[in-house]
Amino acid sequence: MNIINNVRQLRSWSSINRGTRCVFVPTMGALHEGHAALIRAARELAGQSGNVVVSIFVNPLQFGPNEDFSKYPRTLVEDLAICRDNGADAIFAPKADDLYLPDRSIQLFETSLSKTLCGASRPGHFDGVCTVVAKLFNLVQCDEAVFGKKDYQQLAIIRRMVRDLDFNIVIHGIDTVREADGLAMSSRNRYLSADERAQAPVLRAALLKAREAYIKGGERDGKVLRQMILDQIAAEAPLGRVDYVEVVDASTLQTPTETTELVAIAVAVFFGSARLIDNIELK
């Protein structure tokens, strides 16, 4: 497994491997089984003759002034072991000043899909995501890339960016990996106290109940579905503070219409300092 620390080394590696199928897994490190599943999916897509590249980079552009950039867990040694054990061929782990020059003046801006859900409460976050992912796509020169569906809005935005900027890259969404009690695996779960951790699985339980009401009960009123989830969180997770619960068109992330092909519900709830997100597709 190659460990690449700067842009010059990555360009050299990409040049040597040009013509070999490349599948990319961008991460911010603090890897867990959810990330391992992404790497394994990339390995399967790449086959034995292709390359799997994983980036480990805590991107400062996607953190707001009052968010947890400085506290975000950095566990590079453990991350490298997970990458190696799950089939990665190369790791790109640059420093911020290698990706972002002091006098940089160009950045990407997303103007539609980022205005709802997490983007509404984290202004500028997805501009930072788009900027770093576009840079990484250009540097890695991948053919395909995998993203987790847990970050549902991010996946939709990356797909839109690839479409709008004509990246010749296939984007794959991988199902969320969960703990035994249904809680979506996340690097931020480590911030939860014992009591908060005990209440956090209500997010998944409430989403499943709403999906049952949609599929088996025929409930199509988004306001009713939303209130069902809010009521269950209030009853079973008093330590939770709801950021949002929204029923959206899976493609546009706006309110579903008669032409909507797939409906999704997305939630974000604070437990102490940890902001947990989850979602479910209603199909």
**pLDDT (tens digit per residue) in 203-240:** 999 999 999 999 999 999 999 999 999 999 999 999 99
Task: Answer whether residue 64 shows pLDDT above 90.
Answer: no
How far apart CA 164 and CA 169 sit, in angstroms, is: 12
Q: Pick the catalytic residue from 32, 35, 125, 172.
A: 35
pTM of the model: 0.94
Range 187-281: architecture per CATH: 2-Layer Sandwich (3.30)
Query: How does residue 2 score in pLDDT terms, banded at 50, 70 and 90?
Result: very high
Q: Which residue has the higher pLDDT, 64 or 279?
A: 279
Domain with CATH 3.30.1300.10 in the chain: 187-281
Domain with CATH 3.40.50.620 in the chain: 2-174
Angle, vertex CA 153, rays to CA 41 and CA 23, nearest 5: 25
* pLDDT tens string 67-116: 878 888 899 999 999 999 999 999 999 999 999 999 999 999 999 999 99
Q: How far is CA 74 from CA 7, 188, 273, 274, 281, in A?
A: 20, 12, 18, 16, 32
Query: How does residue 66 score in pLDDT terms, banded at 50, 70 and 90?
Result: confident
Active site (annotated) includes residue 35: yes
How far apart CA 216 and CA 170 sit, in angstroms, is: 34
What is the 3-state composition of the chain as percent helix, strand, coil, each rounded to the nearest 5? Answer: 40, 20, 40
Q: Return the residue matching tokens 């009713």.
A: 224
Residues 232 and 212 sit within 8 Å (Cβ to Cβ)? no
pLDDT at 65: 84
Pairing of strands 240-249, 263-271: antiparallel
Question: Class of the 2-174 domain?
Answer: alpha beta
